[in-house]
Structure 1
Amino acid sequence: MSKGFSSVWTREGRSAKSTPGLSREQIVRAALELLDAEGTDGLSMRKLGAKLGAGATSIYWYVANKDELLELAYDEIWGEMVIADAEEVSWRYSAASFGKSMRQTILRHPWASQLIGRIPAIGPNALRATDRLRHAVTVAGFEGLEIDYAISTLTAYIFGMTIPETAFNEYLTKEEPDQEAMRAAVVKAVADYPEMAKRITTVYDADPVEIREMSFDFGLYTVLDGLEARLVT
Protein backbone atom coordinates (compact mmCIF):
# COMPACT_ATOMS: atom_id res chain seq x y z
CA MET A 1 0.00 0.00 0.00
CA SER A 2 1.42 3.37 -1.03
CA LYS A 3 1.80 6.12 1.52
CA GLY A 4 -0.17 9.29 0.84
CA PHE A 5 1.83 12.44 0.12
CA SER A 6 1.49 15.30 2.57
CA SER A 7 3.27 18.61 2.93
CA VAL A 8 2.97 21.66 5.11
CA TRP A 9 2.75 23.66 1.87
CA THR A 10 -0.21 21.79 0.41
CA ARG A 11 -2.69 22.05 3.24
CA GLU A 12 -4.59 25.06 4.47
CA GLY A 13 -2.62 27.08 7.02
CA ARG A 14 -3.88 27.89 10.47
CA SER A 15 -4.07 31.26 12.10
CA ALA A 16 -2.35 32.15 15.34
CA LYS A 17 -5.59 33.25 17.03
CA SER A 18 -5.48 30.52 19.66
CA THR A 19 -1.71 30.74 20.25
CA PRO A 20 -1.17 34.36 21.32
CA GLY A 21 2.45 35.48 21.33
CA LEU A 22 3.66 32.54 19.28
CA SER A 23 3.98 32.87 15.50
CA ARG A 24 5.14 30.49 12.81
CA GLU A 25 8.11 32.78 12.20
CA GLN A 26 9.20 32.39 15.82
CA ILE A 27 8.89 28.62 15.58
CA VAL A 28 10.93 28.45 12.38
CA ARG A 29 13.63 30.75 13.77
CA ALA A 30 13.96 28.64 16.91
CA ALA A 31 13.98 25.43 14.86
CA LEU A 32 16.80 26.79 12.72
CA GLU A 33 18.85 27.59 15.81
CA LEU A 34 18.40 24.05 17.10
CA LEU A 35 19.22 22.53 13.72
CA ASP A 36 22.35 24.62 13.31
CA ALA A 37 23.50 23.67 16.79
CA GLU A 38 22.49 19.99 16.97
CA GLY A 39 21.45 18.81 13.51
CA THR A 40 18.26 16.97 12.59
CA ASP A 41 18.67 14.44 15.41
CA GLY A 42 18.72 17.28 17.91
CA LEU A 43 15.41 18.72 16.77
CA SER A 44 12.28 17.55 18.53
CA MET A 45 8.94 19.09 19.43
CA ARG A 46 9.87 18.82 23.10
CA LYS A 47 13.19 20.63 22.70
CA LEU A 48 11.62 23.25 20.48
CA GLY A 49 8.80 23.83 22.97
CA ALA A 50 11.32 24.23 25.79
CA LYS A 51 13.36 26.71 23.73
CA LEU A 52 10.26 28.76 22.99
CA GLY A 53 8.85 28.46 26.49
CA ALA A 54 5.72 26.90 25.05
CA GLY A 55 4.15 23.46 25.03
CA ALA A 56 4.40 21.10 22.07
CA THR A 57 0.66 21.58 21.55
CA SER A 58 1.27 25.19 20.50
CA ILE A 59 3.75 24.02 17.87
CA TYR A 60 1.35 21.37 16.56
CA TRP A 61 -1.06 24.18 15.75
CA TYR A 62 1.28 25.07 12.87
CA VAL A 63 2.88 21.73 11.96
CA ALA A 64 1.55 18.19 12.08
CA ASN A 65 4.90 16.51 12.69
CA LYS A 66 8.66 16.92 12.64
CA ASP A 67 8.85 16.49 8.86
CA GLU A 68 6.61 19.52 8.37
CA LEU A 69 8.81 21.49 10.74
CA LEU A 70 11.83 20.46 8.68
CA GLU A 71 10.02 21.58 5.52
CA LEU A 72 9.56 25.04 7.00
CA ALA A 73 13.19 25.27 8.10
CA TYR A 74 14.45 23.93 4.76
CA ASP A 75 12.48 26.51 2.82
CA GLU A 76 13.72 29.26 5.14
CA ILE A 77 17.34 28.65 4.13
CA TRP A 78 16.35 28.69 0.46
CA GLY A 79 15.50 32.30 1.16
CA GLU A 80 19.20 32.90 1.87
CA MET A 81 20.21 31.80 -1.61
CA VAL A 82 21.03 34.55 -4.06
CA ILE A 83 20.56 34.22 -7.81
CA ALA A 84 21.26 37.16 -10.05
CA ASP A 85 18.50 38.19 -12.46
CA ALA A 86 19.24 36.83 -15.94
CA GLU A 87 17.57 39.95 -17.37
CA GLU A 88 20.39 42.05 -15.88
CA VAL A 89 23.39 39.73 -16.20
CA SER A 90 24.40 36.83 -18.43
CA TRP A 91 22.67 33.48 -17.93
CA ARG A 92 26.03 31.96 -16.94
CA TYR A 93 26.59 34.57 -14.23
CA SER A 94 23.05 34.01 -12.98
CA ALA A 95 23.47 30.22 -12.83
CA ALA A 96 26.93 30.53 -11.26
CA SER A 97 25.62 32.89 -8.59
CA PHE A 98 22.99 30.29 -7.73
CA GLY A 99 25.56 27.49 -7.54
CA LYS A 100 27.94 29.39 -5.29
CA SER A 101 25.16 30.68 -3.06
CA MET A 102 23.57 27.24 -2.68
CA ARG A 103 26.93 25.76 -1.67
CA GLN A 104 27.53 28.45 0.94
CA THR A 105 24.01 28.06 2.30
CA ILE A 106 24.38 24.31 2.74
CA LEU A 107 27.77 24.79 4.41
CA ARG A 108 26.21 27.26 6.85
CA HIS A 109 23.38 24.82 7.56
CA PRO A 110 24.97 21.36 7.10
CA TRP A 111 21.84 19.56 8.38
CA ALA A 112 20.18 20.53 5.10
CA SER A 113 22.36 18.01 3.25
CA GLN A 114 20.36 15.24 4.97
CA LEU A 115 17.08 16.61 3.62
CA ILE A 116 18.01 16.85 -0.05
CA GLY A 117 15.92 14.33 -1.95
CA ARG A 118 13.83 13.56 1.13
CA ILE A 119 12.03 16.82 1.88
CA PRO A 120 10.24 18.39 -1.11
CA ALA A 121 11.52 21.84 -2.03
CA ILE A 122 8.10 23.30 -2.81
CA GLY A 123 7.96 26.18 -0.34
CA PRO A 124 7.76 29.80 -1.55
CA ASN A 125 11.47 30.54 -1.18
CA ALA A 126 12.53 27.36 -2.98
CA LEU A 127 10.06 27.93 -5.80
CA ARG A 128 11.16 31.55 -6.21
CA ALA A 129 14.83 30.56 -6.50
CA THR A 130 14.03 27.67 -8.83
CA ASP A 131 11.93 29.92 -11.04
CA ARG A 132 14.83 32.34 -11.39
CA LEU A 133 17.18 29.50 -12.27
CA ARG A 134 14.71 28.18 -14.84
CA HIS A 135 14.53 31.65 -16.35
CA ALA A 136 18.33 31.82 -16.61
CA VAL A 137 18.45 28.45 -18.37
CA THR A 138 15.63 29.49 -20.68
CA VAL A 139 17.44 32.72 -21.56
CA ALA A 140 20.47 30.58 -22.41
CA GLY A 141 18.40 28.89 -25.11
CA PHE A 142 17.33 25.57 -23.61
CA GLU A 143 13.81 24.46 -24.43
CA GLY A 144 11.29 21.88 -23.23
CA LEU A 145 12.62 19.03 -21.13
CA GLU A 146 16.20 20.21 -21.71
CA ILE A 147 15.47 23.05 -19.27
CA ASP A 148 14.85 20.45 -16.57
CA TYR A 149 17.86 18.39 -17.64
CA ALA A 150 20.14 21.42 -17.48
CA ILE A 151 18.91 22.34 -14.00
CA SER A 152 19.25 18.74 -12.80
CA THR A 153 22.81 18.60 -14.12
CA LEU A 154 23.74 21.80 -12.33
CA THR A 155 22.12 20.93 -9.00
CA ALA A 156 23.53 17.38 -9.11
CA TYR A 157 27.00 18.89 -9.36
CA ILE A 158 26.35 21.30 -6.47
CA PHE A 159 25.00 18.55 -4.23
CA GLY A 160 27.69 16.09 -5.27
CA MET A 161 30.46 18.48 -4.28
CA THR A 162 28.88 20.05 -1.23
CA ILE A 163 27.32 17.13 0.65
CA PRO A 164 30.66 15.29 1.11
CA GLU A 165 32.21 18.61 2.14
CA THR A 166 29.66 19.05 4.91
CA ALA A 167 30.26 15.48 6.06
CA PHE A 168 34.02 16.07 6.20
CA ASN A 169 33.57 19.34 8.07
CA GLU A 170 31.35 17.56 10.59
CA TYR A 171 33.96 14.84 11.00
CA LEU A 172 36.67 17.44 11.68
CA THR A 173 34.44 19.17 14.22
CA LYS A 174 33.39 16.07 16.14
CA GLU A 175 36.50 13.90 15.93
CA GLU A 176 39.19 16.62 15.98
CA PRO A 177 41.72 14.35 14.24
CA ASP A 178 45.46 14.93 14.44
CA GLN A 179 46.05 16.77 11.16
CA GLU A 180 49.75 15.89 11.02
CA ALA A 181 49.04 12.22 11.68
CA MET A 182 46.36 12.27 8.99
CA ARG A 183 48.78 13.85 6.53
CA ALA A 184 51.49 11.31 7.33
CA ALA A 185 49.05 8.45 6.81
CA VAL A 186 47.95 9.75 3.41
CA VAL A 187 51.52 10.39 2.28
CA LYS A 188 52.47 6.85 3.29
CA ALA A 189 49.44 5.39 1.48
CA VAL A 190 50.39 7.03 -1.85
CA ALA A 191 54.16 6.48 -1.53
CA ASP A 192 54.18 4.11 -4.53
CA TYR A 193 52.41 6.65 -6.72
CA PRO A 194 54.84 9.59 -7.31
CA GLU A 195 52.35 11.87 -9.05
CA MET A 196 49.80 11.46 -6.26
CA ALA A 197 52.47 11.97 -3.61
CA LYS A 198 53.54 15.21 -5.30
CA ARG A 199 49.99 16.52 -5.44
CA ILE A 200 49.27 15.55 -1.83
CA THR A 201 52.21 17.67 -0.67
CA THR A 202 51.01 20.61 -2.75
CA VAL A 203 47.45 20.34 -1.44
CA TYR A 204 48.50 20.06 2.20
CA ASP A 205 50.66 23.16 1.90
CA ALA A 206 47.70 25.23 0.68
CA ASP A 207 44.73 26.70 2.56
CA PRO A 208 42.17 23.84 2.57
CA VAL A 209 39.19 26.21 2.53
CA GLU A 210 40.61 28.05 -0.47
CA ILE A 211 41.41 24.79 -2.24
CA ARG A 212 37.85 23.49 -1.81
CA GLU A 213 36.38 26.75 -3.05
CA MET A 214 38.62 26.81 -6.12
CA SER A 215 37.83 23.15 -6.78
CA PHE A 216 34.10 23.87 -6.60
CA ASP A 217 34.40 26.87 -8.93
CA PHE A 218 36.47 24.86 -11.42
CA GLY A 219 33.80 22.19 -11.63
CA LEU A 220 30.93 24.68 -11.65
CA TYR A 221 32.28 26.60 -14.64
CA THR A 222 33.16 23.34 -16.38
CA VAL A 223 29.52 22.24 -16.04
CA LEU A 224 28.38 25.59 -17.43
CA ASP A 225 30.89 25.24 -20.29
CA GLY A 226 29.39 21.86 -21.10
CA LEU A 227 25.82 23.16 -20.99
CA GLU A 228 26.77 26.08 -23.21
CA ALA A 229 28.47 23.75 -25.69
CA ARG A 230 25.24 21.80 -26.11
CA LEU A 231 23.52 24.96 -27.28
CA VAL A 232 25.79 25.33 -30.31
CA THR A 233 25.82 21.69 -31.44
Structure 2
Amino acid sequence: MPRNTLTRDQIVRTAVELLDEEGMEGLNMRSLGKRLDSAATAVYWHVKNKDDLVLLAGDLVWHEIELPEPDAADWRRAAVSLAVDLNAMFERHPWLVQAFGSHLFYGRGKARYDDHCIALYEQAGFAPADADQVAAAVFTYVLGNALGTAAMGSLDRRLRRDGHDPQEFIAATMTKAAEVAQEFPRLRARLTQPAATDYAAAPAQTLERGLRALLAGLEAQLPPHPRQVHESAGAAHPGST
Protein backbone atom coordinates (compact mmCIF):
# COMPACT_ATOMS: atom_id res chain seq x y z
CA MET A 1 0.00 0.00 0.00
CA PRO A 2 1.56 3.35 -0.99
CA ARG A 3 2.27 5.74 1.85
CA ASN A 4 -0.22 8.31 0.53
CA THR A 5 -3.09 5.84 1.00
CA LEU A 6 -2.16 5.03 4.60
CA THR A 7 -3.65 7.00 7.47
CA ARG A 8 -2.32 7.33 11.00
CA ASP A 9 -5.60 5.98 12.39
CA GLN A 10 -5.29 2.87 10.20
CA ILE A 11 -1.70 2.35 11.32
CA VAL A 12 -2.53 2.74 15.01
CA ARG A 13 -5.51 0.38 14.88
CA THR A 14 -3.43 -2.23 13.08
CA ALA A 15 -0.70 -1.77 15.69
CA VAL A 16 -3.25 -2.51 18.43
CA GLU A 17 -4.22 -5.74 16.64
CA LEU A 18 -0.57 -6.74 16.34
CA LEU A 19 0.14 -5.90 19.98
CA ASP A 20 -2.89 -7.90 21.13
CA GLU A 21 -1.62 -10.95 19.27
CA GLU A 22 2.14 -10.66 19.66
CA GLY A 23 2.73 -8.39 22.66
CA MET A 24 5.31 -5.64 22.94
CA GLU A 25 8.06 -7.97 21.79
CA GLY A 26 6.20 -8.67 18.53
CA LEU A 27 5.74 -5.07 17.45
CA ASN A 28 8.16 -3.73 14.86
CA MET A 29 7.76 -1.62 11.75
CA ARG A 30 8.49 -4.50 9.40
CA SER A 31 5.74 -6.74 10.79
CA LEU A 32 3.35 -3.80 10.97
CA GLY A 33 4.09 -2.87 7.36
CA LYS A 34 3.43 -6.45 6.30
CA ARG A 35 0.00 -6.37 7.92
CA LEU A 36 -0.74 -3.10 6.20
CA ASP A 37 0.54 -4.47 2.88
CA SER A 38 2.97 -1.58 2.80
CA ALA A 39 6.67 -0.95 3.11
CA ALA A 40 7.90 -0.30 6.63
CA THR A 41 9.34 3.02 5.46
CA ALA A 42 5.83 4.23 4.57
CA VAL A 43 4.78 3.88 8.21
CA TYR A 44 7.44 6.39 9.26
CA TRP A 45 5.65 9.12 7.30
CA HIS A 46 2.86 8.92 9.90
CA VAL A 47 4.59 7.93 13.18
CA LYS A 48 8.04 8.83 14.46
CA ASN A 49 9.15 5.45 15.78
CA LYS A 50 8.02 2.38 17.71
CA ASP A 51 7.75 4.26 21.02
CA ASP A 52 5.52 6.87 19.42
CA LEU A 53 3.37 4.11 17.98
CA VAL A 54 2.99 2.42 21.39
CA LEU A 55 1.87 5.72 22.93
CA LEU A 56 -0.71 6.24 20.19
CA ALA A 57 -1.97 2.66 20.46
CA GLY A 58 -2.13 2.94 24.24
CA ASP A 59 -4.18 6.11 24.13
CA LEU A 60 -6.58 4.64 21.58
CA VAL A 61 -7.63 1.73 23.80
CA TRP A 62 -8.39 4.06 26.74
CA HIS A 63 -11.43 5.19 24.73
CA GLU A 64 -12.94 1.70 25.21
CA ILE A 65 -13.66 2.36 28.89
CA GLU A 66 -17.29 3.19 29.70
CA LEU A 67 -17.65 6.26 31.92
CA PRO A 68 -20.54 5.88 34.39
CA GLU A 69 -22.30 9.04 35.50
CA PRO A 70 -20.95 10.33 38.82
CA ASP A 71 -23.49 9.66 41.58
CA ALA A 72 -22.90 11.26 44.97
CA ALA A 73 -25.52 9.02 46.57
CA ASP A 74 -23.88 5.80 45.34
CA TRP A 75 -20.41 6.85 44.23
CA ARG A 76 -18.76 3.57 45.26
CA ARG A 77 -20.93 1.59 42.84
CA ALA A 78 -19.89 3.91 40.01
CA ALA A 79 -16.24 3.71 41.11
CA VAL A 80 -16.31 -0.11 41.14
CA SER A 81 -17.96 -0.15 37.70
CA LEU A 82 -15.29 2.18 36.32
CA ALA A 83 -12.44 0.15 37.83
CA VAL A 84 -13.85 -3.17 36.61
CA ASP A 85 -14.12 -1.76 33.08
CA LEU A 86 -10.52 -0.51 33.32
CA ASN A 87 -9.44 -4.01 34.33
CA ALA A 88 -11.38 -5.52 31.42
CA MET A 89 -9.57 -3.14 29.04
CA PHE A 90 -6.23 -4.28 30.48
CA GLU A 91 -7.25 -7.92 29.98
CA ARG A 92 -8.10 -7.25 26.33
CA HIS A 93 -4.79 -5.45 25.83
CA PRO A 94 -2.28 -6.99 28.27
CA TRP A 95 0.64 -5.42 26.40
CA LEU A 96 -0.46 -2.07 27.83
CA VAL A 97 0.24 -3.36 31.35
CA GLN A 98 3.73 -4.37 30.23
CA ALA A 99 4.27 -1.00 28.55
CA PHE A 100 3.70 0.93 31.77
CA GLY A 101 7.14 -0.21 32.84
CA SER A 102 8.83 1.62 29.97
CA HIS A 103 6.45 4.32 28.70
CA LEU A 104 4.72 7.39 30.10
CA PHE A 105 1.23 7.38 28.61
CA TYR A 106 -0.76 10.51 27.87
CA GLY A 107 -3.31 11.67 25.33
CA ARG A 108 -6.98 12.46 24.94
CA GLY A 109 -8.14 8.94 25.72
CA LYS A 110 -6.32 8.72 29.03
CA ALA A 111 -7.11 12.35 29.90
CA ARG A 112 -10.81 11.62 29.34
CA TYR A 113 -10.62 8.72 31.80
CA ASP A 114 -8.54 10.61 34.38
CA ASP A 115 -10.82 13.64 34.33
CA HIS A 116 -13.89 11.47 34.86
CA CYS A 117 -12.28 9.67 37.81
CA ILE A 118 -11.47 12.95 39.50
CA ALA A 119 -15.01 14.24 38.90
CA LEU A 120 -16.46 11.08 40.44
CA TYR A 121 -14.36 11.33 43.60
CA GLU A 122 -14.85 15.07 43.98
CA GLN A 123 -18.61 14.58 43.77
CA ALA A 124 -18.29 11.92 46.48
CA GLY A 125 -16.93 14.63 48.76
CA PHE A 126 -13.15 14.39 48.42
CA ALA A 127 -11.15 17.61 48.16
CA PRO A 128 -9.35 17.98 44.80
CA ALA A 129 -5.94 16.87 46.15
CA ASP A 130 -7.53 13.91 47.95
CA ALA A 131 -9.51 12.97 44.83
CA ASP A 132 -6.22 12.78 42.92
CA GLN A 133 -4.79 10.38 45.53
CA VAL A 134 -7.93 8.23 45.59
CA ALA A 135 -7.92 7.95 41.79
CA ALA A 136 -4.23 6.99 41.86
CA ALA A 137 -4.81 4.38 44.58
CA VAL A 138 -7.64 2.70 42.66
CA PHE A 139 -5.70 2.79 39.40
CA THR A 140 -2.63 1.24 41.04
CA TYR A 141 -4.76 -1.51 42.56
CA VAL A 142 -6.33 -2.39 39.19
CA LEU A 143 -2.99 -2.24 37.39
CA GLY A 144 -1.48 -4.63 39.95
CA ASN A 145 -4.42 -6.98 39.55
CA ALA A 146 -3.88 -7.04 35.77
CA LEU A 147 -0.18 -7.89 36.03
CA GLY A 148 -0.85 -11.61 36.35
CA THR A 149 -2.81 -11.81 33.10
CA ALA A 150 -0.21 -9.77 31.25
CA ALA A 151 2.64 -11.89 32.60
CA MET A 152 0.92 -15.14 31.64
CA GLY A 153 0.31 -13.89 28.11
CA SER A 154 3.96 -12.90 27.73
CA LEU A 155 5.10 -16.24 29.14
CA ASP A 156 2.79 -18.14 26.79
CA ARG A 157 4.24 -16.39 23.72
CA ARG A 158 7.83 -16.93 24.89
CA LEU A 159 7.27 -20.63 25.51
CA ARG A 160 5.70 -21.10 22.08
CA ARG A 161 8.61 -19.30 20.39
CA ASP A 162 11.01 -21.61 22.22
CA GLY A 163 9.11 -24.70 21.11
CA HIS A 164 7.47 -25.56 24.45
CA ASP A 165 3.88 -26.47 25.16
CA PRO A 166 2.68 -23.70 27.51
CA GLN A 167 0.02 -25.83 29.20
CA GLU A 168 2.48 -28.63 29.94
CA PHE A 169 5.14 -26.21 31.18
CA ILE A 170 2.73 -24.33 33.47
CA ALA A 171 1.23 -27.57 34.80
CA ALA A 172 4.69 -28.91 35.64
CA THR A 173 5.61 -25.64 37.36
CA MET A 174 2.40 -25.63 39.43
CA THR A 175 3.12 -29.21 40.48
CA LYS A 176 6.55 -28.13 41.76
CA ALA A 177 5.01 -25.11 43.49
CA ALA A 178 2.45 -27.36 45.20
CA GLU A 179 5.25 -29.61 46.43
CA VAL A 180 6.97 -26.62 48.04
CA ALA A 181 3.65 -25.45 49.52
CA GLN A 182 3.26 -28.78 51.36
CA GLU A 183 5.91 -27.55 53.82
CA PHE A 184 3.65 -24.71 54.99
CA PRO A 185 0.55 -25.57 57.07
CA ARG A 186 -1.96 -23.09 55.70
CA LEU A 187 -1.01 -23.69 52.08
CA ARG A 188 -1.03 -27.45 52.69
CA ALA A 189 -4.53 -27.23 54.19
CA ARG A 190 -5.84 -25.40 51.16
CA LEU A 191 -4.31 -27.91 48.77
CA THR A 192 -5.99 -30.82 50.58
CA GLN A 193 -9.47 -29.26 50.70
CA PRO A 194 -12.07 -31.04 48.54
CA ALA A 195 -12.69 -27.88 46.52
CA ALA A 196 -8.99 -27.09 46.12
CA THR A 197 -8.01 -25.97 42.63
CA ASP A 198 -4.85 -24.56 41.12
CA TYR A 199 -2.29 -23.54 43.74
CA ALA A 200 -1.87 -20.17 42.01
CA ALA A 201 -5.56 -19.57 41.31
CA ALA A 202 -7.16 -16.46 42.80
CA PRO A 203 -10.56 -16.76 44.53
CA ALA A 204 -13.57 -15.65 42.53
CA GLN A 205 -14.54 -11.98 42.72
CA THR A 206 -11.11 -11.04 44.09
CA LEU A 207 -11.00 -7.78 42.12
CA GLU A 208 -14.45 -6.57 43.16
CA ARG A 209 -13.98 -7.56 46.80
CA GLY A 210 -10.66 -5.74 47.01
CA LEU A 211 -12.13 -2.66 45.33
CA ARG A 212 -15.04 -2.51 47.76
CA ALA A 213 -12.67 -2.82 50.72
CA LEU A 214 -10.33 -0.16 49.33
CA LEU A 215 -13.16 2.27 48.61
CA ALA A 216 -14.76 1.68 52.02
CA GLY A 217 -11.48 2.56 53.70
CA LEU A 218 -11.12 5.68 51.57
CA GLU A 219 -14.72 6.71 52.28
CA ALA A 220 -13.99 6.56 56.00
CA GLN A 221 -11.54 9.43 55.46
CA LEU A 222 -14.22 11.73 54.06
CA PRO A 223 -15.12 14.71 56.27
CA PRO A 224 -18.61 14.45 57.81
CA HIS A 225 -21.41 15.78 55.65
CA PRO A 226 -22.96 18.97 57.10
CA ARG A 227 -26.25 17.15 57.60
CA GLN A 228 -24.48 14.35 59.50
CA VAL A 229 -22.80 16.93 61.74
CA HIS A 230 -26.18 18.56 62.47
CA GLU A 231 -27.85 15.21 63.25
CA SER A 232 -24.94 14.24 65.51
CA ALA A 233 -25.23 17.51 67.41
CA GLY A 234 -28.98 16.99 67.80
CA ALA A 235 -28.44 13.50 69.19
CA ALA A 236 -25.98 14.85 71.75
CA HIS A 237 -28.48 17.54 72.85
CA PRO A 238 -31.96 16.00 72.66
CA GLY A 239 -33.58 19.18 73.90
CA SER A 240 -32.18 21.33 71.14
CA THR A 241 -34.26 22.46 68.18
TM-score (norm 2): 0.78
1:130 corresponds in structure 2 to 114
1:120 aligned counterpart, secondary structure? coil
**1:31–1:48 contact (8 Å) kept in structure 2:** yes
Deviation at 1:33, TM superposition (A): 1.4
Q: Alpha-carbon deviation of 1:210?
A: 8.7
Q: Deviations over 1:58-88 (max 9, x none)?
A: 2222211111100111011111122311149
TM-superposed deviation, 1:27: 0.5
Matches within 5 A, 1:92-131: 92-116=76-100, 118-131=102-115
What do the CA deviations read for 1:158-178 (whole angstroms, capped 9, x no partner)? 111211332134435633235
Structure 2: 5+ residue stretches without partners: 160-165, 225-241
Deviates more, 1:35-44 or 1:53-62: 53-62
The one-letter amino acid paired with 1:20 is N
After superposition, the Cα gap between the structure-2 partners of 1:47 and 1:180, relative to the gap in structure 1 and judged at 3 Å, is closer
Deviation at 1:52, TM superposition (A): 0.7
Which of 125, 139, 163 matches 1:141? 125
The 2-side partners of 1:56 and 1:126 are apart by 28
Q: After superposition, where does 1:39-54 map in structure 2 within 5 Å?
A: 39-54=23-38
Residue 220 of structure 1: CA displacement? 1.2
User: Aligned residue pairs: how many?
Assistant: 216
- Residue 224 of structure 1 aligns with which residue? 215
Pairing of 1:1-233 with structure 2 (within 5 A): 19-87=3-71, 90-116=74-100, 118-171=102-155, 174=159, 175-177=166-168, 181-202=172-193, 205-206=196-197, 211=202, 213-232=204-223
How far apart, in 1, do the equivalents of 2:148 and 2:195 lie? 19
Whole-Å separation in 1 of the counterparts to 2:11 and 2:126: 40
Cα separation, 2, equivalents of 1:93 and 1:121: 27
TM-score (norm 1): 0.80
Q: Which has the larger radius of gyration?
A: 2
Letter of the structure 1 residue corresponding to residue 176 of structure 2:
A
Contact 1:134-1:147 at 8 Å conserved across structures: yes
Percent identity, aligned pairs only, is: 31
- Judged with a 3 Å threshold, the aligned counterparts in structure 2 of structure 1 residues 70 and 181 are, in CA distance, closer, same or farther, namely closer
User: Structure 1: which 5+ runs fail to align?
Assistant: 1-17
